[in-house]
């Protein structure tokens, strides 16, 4: 067998007193794609951060091309040919797309000046390989989460890496971008580049990976060729038990239930136009569409974080002003797709995050003294409900794994007990077991009479959770689907305007 | 300590400045036997209380992601119109206590209004805090120079200066006031909803906005808080000198206040910090000054030491981040 490009020997990682990786020995060959799976907090990202020089192992050794190596920082790793697309975006919000892609690696022209044109052209090329319609000159703040993800992938592709690690790159991407990404990945693989691919969507692992490695509680419990494992088997090895049906049985919609939420003629410049819909109490309305169709923008407009015109009403009462506090006061809850960009406070504790929106309920007296006991009790409840993996609710979010941060973000939007709930990518980066819990919780909330808007780039999720779906295309409502018509083919037809297979 | 929770990171930062203070006190005690005399300690505390009170307000502003350079000029302006009001009432034959009360109220109101002005330009005007307060720093100074023709307003009220030099239980009045503000602000920052919002806005303004926090209101109020502390200091310092020097009062106050906050472990970029840290930071500055005086270092060089301490504190902060 040829020398492995990367090999680890008994790698251990401790954070203060907690051991999160135990004796990991694994190897990666040139031209292979290794899938890495495991529950939230199993240690996937930590292992990858060690391979890419972000963390240093507490014990154990790392070999590159058979030579013992230690990376002091990410530049060391990059110099050795290891590149990573991190789970959380690491982009400068005020720089342009091409400036970010080439950050620290700028192309210089004659005289040492930056060759902006070359950088822009190459960025455009890379973006089109990923079939992403993003302007290389756009600033990062103007981009959606999916677009940021694609920029992050481009950034890693620019370096001629020999090992490329992708930590959950597809959580906010739709099928089309995922397919393009896979095309690019296959191309890299054929050029002899070794890839590590992390995802909670097991079908992706089955499709793109050669081998799969399973982490459970910081231990490597299984490594095998992908072909030998079914999806059920992968899930079982991850969580250590059998998983039953993923999606809950949805309650029959009642035609008598009152309309709880209405949007009429909502328009926002450069984002979407003339969107109208209404949702009855207890109903889950899906919002589907391709990247850039305007789903997230509609949610942002409803919440008052984006300028818009049109009528919004909760339980028949029209919202007078368009500020986030007014939306919350009217009973609207919101989960943002951009976890660290607009969802959670990374330096805050779990408890502080969970009650950030509902804090008025926990504050007493003239000064608004925070009732810490009550706050901790609520946080404890969410921690149990979503099985958030943390030492206590006083732990800061920067110390939580991505999926666990997502659960806190969801707790934060649910804690105010909204009457209308908008969830944008609710299960982003969440493992199969927790996904199931979240679906059940959302179905339960609906059963209690809450109106829910369910936005997701994962079609399977939309189909499993919604009986009615509004499909958007390029900022317009392409149509509503209901009952049996809520299926992949119909949604894609409306989303793209093209009927396939005819 | 009465402060909030035991977040590892925060206590490490506080620990740092406390250790530094401990070492300083030890060194000073060795260098001069006079240092630990109660009278000297009380003197140090009195000296730091004037800019220390402003530093307490500055803690809110910096944690929320802002800065305020106008504090010294605003102190001169607020003090000037306070004393002017008092003297006018005295001339009109009103009892002395009425004059004192009026001076206090006018100075506090002027300070707070100055804060509102800064805050409105930062939030509604969307101008960078550095620029806004650099501008108002010039404006408030120039207004007070104009009022006093660059000279001094001497108080004609005898009660005024008596209060300023009074002590309660051996401790000077300004020190008591600083302690009271420190206790109250510590509660406000560490235990209340508003304090939580201040940290939230400074940590990540976008997340705060998406969390339905009234970001503008929270930021505006931090400038009102600091404006109020400026008003308090204006009263205390003019009581101390029995006058307001329109060209001298408050000069370099912004430097001392910001230094105390940063030395106390508050992140310059906002998001985290404690009131107790700022108190420790202010005391460190006071002890350094006192020590340099005692060992006979030229007063002209003291600024150099202060500058080095600030830069050192920021360096340590960055190493931790
Ligand atoms: N800086 C840190 N300090 C303390 N604990 C940490 C830190 N970073 C990660 N951890 C802990 O290490 C464990 C593994 O985290 P990691 O991010 O590797 O999980 P993961 O497998 O990537 O999960 P996910 O699927 O949610 O992304 C978690 O329990 C997490 O709380
Ligand atoms: Mg992870």
Taking residues B158-180, report their average pLDDT.
93
Q: Which CATH superfamily is domain A6-239 in?
A: P-loop containing nucleotide triphosphate hydrolases (3.40.50.300)
Q: Do A369 and B188 touch (CB under 8 A)?
A: no
Is pLDDT at A501 greater than 60 in this prediction?
Answer: no
Residue B212 sits at the chain A interface (C-beta within 8 Å): yes
Under the phi-then-psi rule, with left for phi > 0, alpha for psi from -120 to 50, and beta for the rest, what region is B126? Answer: left
The pLDDT of residue A106: 80
Q: Do A348 and B272 touch (CB under 8 A)?
A: no
| Residue numbers of B between 109 and 168 with CB closer than 8 Å to A | none
CA-based nearest residue to A351, from A408, A274, A290, A404: A408
The pLDDT of residue A502: 43
Ligand 1, pocket-test mutation among A16, A22, A45, A434, most atoms within 8 A of CB: A45
Half-sphere exposure of residue A68: CA atoms within 13 angstroms, side-chain side: 4
B134: helix, coil or strand?
helix
Q: Do A349 and B7 touch (CB under 8 A)?
A: yes
DSSP letter assigned to residue A201: -
CB-nearest partner of A369 from B191, B210, B271: B191
Characterize A94-113 residue by residue with b for buried, 16 or more Cβ atoms within 10 angstroms of its Cβ, and e for exposed.
eebbbbbbbeeeebeeeeee
Residue B272 sits at the chain A interface (C-beta within 8 Å): yes
Residues of A with CB under 8 A from a CB of B: 303, 305, 323-325, 327-328, 334, 336, 341-349, 352, 356-357, 359-360, 362-363, 367-370, 394, 396, 412
The C-alpha R_g of chain A, in whole angstroms, comes to 23
The pLDDT of residue B321: 52
Distance separating the N- and C-terminal Cα atoms of chain A: 48
Which pTM value belongs to this model?
0.89
Ligand 1, pocket-test mutation among A13, A19, A20, most atoms within 8 A of CB: A20
- Which strands form A67-69's sheet, in the order they lie side by side? A18-28, A6-15, A59-64, A67-69
Is pLDDT at B10 greater than 70 in this prediction?
Answer: no
Closest residue in B to A323 (Cα–Cα)? B212
CB A87 less than 6 A from any atom of ligand 1: yes
At A139-173, the pLDDT tens digits run: 998 888 888 988 988 888 888 789 999 999 999 88
CATH class, domain B35-320, is mainly alpha
* Runs of H (alpha helix) within B92-128: 96-123
Which residues in chain A have Cβ-Cβ distances shorter than 8 Å to B2?
none
Residue A271: CB atoms within 10 A of its CB come to 18
Which is the closest atom of ligand 1 to the Cα of A403? Answer: 26
Residue A2: CB atoms within 10 A of its CB come to 8
CATH class, domain A244-331+418-502, is alpha beta
Q: Do A347 and B272 touch (CB under 8 A)?
A: yes
Q: Do A412 and B188 touch (CB under 8 A)?
A: no
Q: Do A325 and B214 touch (CB under 8 A)?
A: yes
A484: helix, coil or strand?
helix
* Domain ranges, ordered by start, for chain B: 35-320
Q: Relative to the alpha carbon of A401, which ligand is closest? A: 1
Which residues in chain A have Cβ-Cβ distances shorter than 8 Å to B192?
363, 367-370
**Burial class (CB within 10 angstroms; exposed 0-12, middle 13-18, buried 19+) of B227:** buried
Query: Whose structure tokens read 């009195």?
Result: B46
A396 vs B204: CA distance, rounded Å: 15
- Which strands form A309-314's sheet, in the order they lie side by side? A272-280, A259-268, A309-314, A317-318
At residue B187, what are phi and psi to the nearest 5 degrees?
Answer: -65, -45
Give CA B93 to chain center in angstroms. 34
SS3 content of chain B, % helix, strand, coil (to 5): 75, 5, 20
At A232-256, the pLDDT tens digits run: 888 888 887 766 667 888 777 677 8
Distance separating the N- and C-terminal Cα atoms of chain B: 24
Which is the closest atom of ligand 1 to the Cα of A389? Answer: 29
Report ipTM (2 d.p.). Answer: 0.88
* Domain ranges, ordered by start, for chain A: 6-239, 244-331+418-502, 348-416
A302 vs A296: CA distance, rounded Å: 10
B298 vs B300: CA distance, rounded Å: 5
Residue B190 sits at the chain A interface (C-beta within 8 Å): no
**Which residues have CB under 8 Å from A127's CB, separation 6+?**
A97, A133, A134, A136, A150, A151, A154
Contact, A284 vs A466, CB < 8 A? yes
Contact, A176 vs A134, CB < 8 A? no
At A299-341, the pLDDT tens digits run: 999 999 999 999 999 999 998 888 999 999 999 999 999 888 8
A349 vs A370: CA distance, rounded Å: 14
Is pLDDT at B13 greater than 70 in this prediction?
Answer: no
The pLDDT of residue A205: 94
B66 vs B55: CA distance, rounded Å: 13
Ligand 1, pocket-test mutation among A41, A89, A431, most atoms within 8 A of CB: A41
CA-based nearest residue to B114, from B194, B229, B218: B229
At B270-319, the pLDDT tens digits run: 999 999 999 999 999 999 999 888 888 888 888 888 888 888 877 876 66
DSSP string, A301-322: HHHTSS--EEEEEETTEEP-S-
CA-based nearest residue to A341, from A85, A151, A91: A91
At B20-69, the pLDDT tens digits run: 889 889 988 998 888 999 999 999 999 999 999 999 999 999 999 999 99
- Percent of residues, chain A, with pLDDT higher than 90: 64
The pLDDT of residue A4: 87
Query: Whose structure tokens read 């300070």?
Result: B111
Under the banding of pLDDT at 50, 70 and 90, the label for residue B14 is low
């Amino acid at each position: 067998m040829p020398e492995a490009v990367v090999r680890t020997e008994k790698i251990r990682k401790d954070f203060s007193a907690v051991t999160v990786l135990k004796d990991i020995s694994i190897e990666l060959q040139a031209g292979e794609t290794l899938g890495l799976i495991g529950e939230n907090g199993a240690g996937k990202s930590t292992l990858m951060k060690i391979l890419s020089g972000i963390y240093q192992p507490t014990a154990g050794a790392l070999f590159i091309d058979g030579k013992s190596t230690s990376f002091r920082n990410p530049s060391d790793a990059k110099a050795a040919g290891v590149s990573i697309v991190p789970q959380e975006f690491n982009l400068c919000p005020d720089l342009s797309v091409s400036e970010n892609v080439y950050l620290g690696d700028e192309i210089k022209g004659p005289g040492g000046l930056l060759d902006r044109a070359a950088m822009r052209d190459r960025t455009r090329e890379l973006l089109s390989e990923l079939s992403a319609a993003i302007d290389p000159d756009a600033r990062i703040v103007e981009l959606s989460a999916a677009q940021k993800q694609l920029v992050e992938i481009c950034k890693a592709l620019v370096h001629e890496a020999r090992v490329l690690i992708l930590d959950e790159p597809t959580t906010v991407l739709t099928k089309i971008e995922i397919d393009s990404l896979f095309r690019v990945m296959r191309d890299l693989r054929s050029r002899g580049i070794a890839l590590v691919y992390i995802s909670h969507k097991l079908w992706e692992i089955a499709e793109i990976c050669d081998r799969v490695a399973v982490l459970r509680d910081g231990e490597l419990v299984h490594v095998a060729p992908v072909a030998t494992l079914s999806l059920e088997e992968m899930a079982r090895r991850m969580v250590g038990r059998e998983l039953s049906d993923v999606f809950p049985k949805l309650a029959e919609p009642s035609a008598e239930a009152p309309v709880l939420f209405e949007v009429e003629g909502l328009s926002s410049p450069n984002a979407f136009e003339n969107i109208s819909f209404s949702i009855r109490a207890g109903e889950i309305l899906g919002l589907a569409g391709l990247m850039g169709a305007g789903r997230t923008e509609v949610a942002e407009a409803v919440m008052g974080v984006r300028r818009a015109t049109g009528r919004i009403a909760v339980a028949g009462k029209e919202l007078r002003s368009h500020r986030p506090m007014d939306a919350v006061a009217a009973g609207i809850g919101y989960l943002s797709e951009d976890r660290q960009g607009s969802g959670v406070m990374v330096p805050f504790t779990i408890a502080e995050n969970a009650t950030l929106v509902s804090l008025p309920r926990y504050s007493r007296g003239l000064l608004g003294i925070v009732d810490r006991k009550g706050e901790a009790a609520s946080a404890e409840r969410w921690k149990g409900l979503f099985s958030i993996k943390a030492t206590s609710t006083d732990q800061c979010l920067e110390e939580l794994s991505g999926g666990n941060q997502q659960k806190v973000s969801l707790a934060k939007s649910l804690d105010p007990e909204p009457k209308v709930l908008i969830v944008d990518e609710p299960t982003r980066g969440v493992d199969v077991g927790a996904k199931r819990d979240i679906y059940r919780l959302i179905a339960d909330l609906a059963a209690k009479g809450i109106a829910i808007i369910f936005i997701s780039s994962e079609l399977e999720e939309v189909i499993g959770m919604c009986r009615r779906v509004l499909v958007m295309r390029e900022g317009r409502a392409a149509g509503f689907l209901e009952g049996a018509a809520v299926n992949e083919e119909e949604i894609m037809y409306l989303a793209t305007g093209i009927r396939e297979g005819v | 300590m009465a402060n909030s929770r035991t977040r590892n990171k925060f206590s490490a930062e506080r620990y740092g400045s406390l250790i530094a203070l401990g070492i300083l006190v030890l060194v000073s005690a060795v260098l001069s036997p006079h240092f630990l005399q109660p009278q000297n300690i009380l003197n140090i505390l009195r000296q730091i209380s004037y800019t220390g009170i402003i530093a307490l307000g500055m803690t809110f502003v910096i944690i929320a992601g802002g800065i305020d350079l106008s504090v010294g000029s605003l102190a001169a302006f607020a003090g000037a119109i306070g004393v002017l009001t008092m003297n006018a009432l005295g001339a009109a034959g009103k009892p002395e206590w009425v004059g004192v009360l009026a001076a206090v109220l006018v100075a506090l109101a002027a300070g707070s209004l100055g804060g509102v002005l800064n805050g409105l330009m930062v939030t509604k005007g969307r101008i960078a805090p550095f620029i806004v307060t650099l501008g108002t720093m010039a404006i408030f100074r120039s207004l007070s120079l104009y009022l006093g023709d660059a000279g001094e307003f001497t108080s004609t009220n005898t009660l005024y200066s008596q209060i300023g030099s009074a002590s309660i239980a051996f401790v000077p009045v300004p020190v008591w006031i600083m302690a009271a503000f420190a206790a109250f602000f510590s509660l406000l920052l560490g235990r209340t909803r508003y304090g939580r919002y201040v940290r939230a806005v400074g940590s990540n303004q976008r997340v705060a906005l998406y969390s339905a926090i009234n970001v503008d209101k929270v930021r505006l109020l931090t400038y009102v808080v600091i404006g109020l502390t400026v008003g308090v200091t204006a009263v205390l310092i003019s009581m101390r000198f029995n006058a307001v020097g329109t060209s001298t009062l408050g000069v370099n106050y912004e430097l001392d206040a910001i230094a105390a906050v940063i030395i106390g472990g508050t992140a310059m970029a906002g998001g985290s910090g404690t009131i107790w840290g700022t108190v420790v930071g202010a005391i460190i500055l006071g002890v350094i000054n006192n020590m340099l005086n005692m060992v006979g270092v030229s007063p002209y060089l003291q600024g150099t030491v202060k500058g080095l301490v600030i830069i050192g504190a920021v360096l340590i902060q960055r190493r931790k981040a």
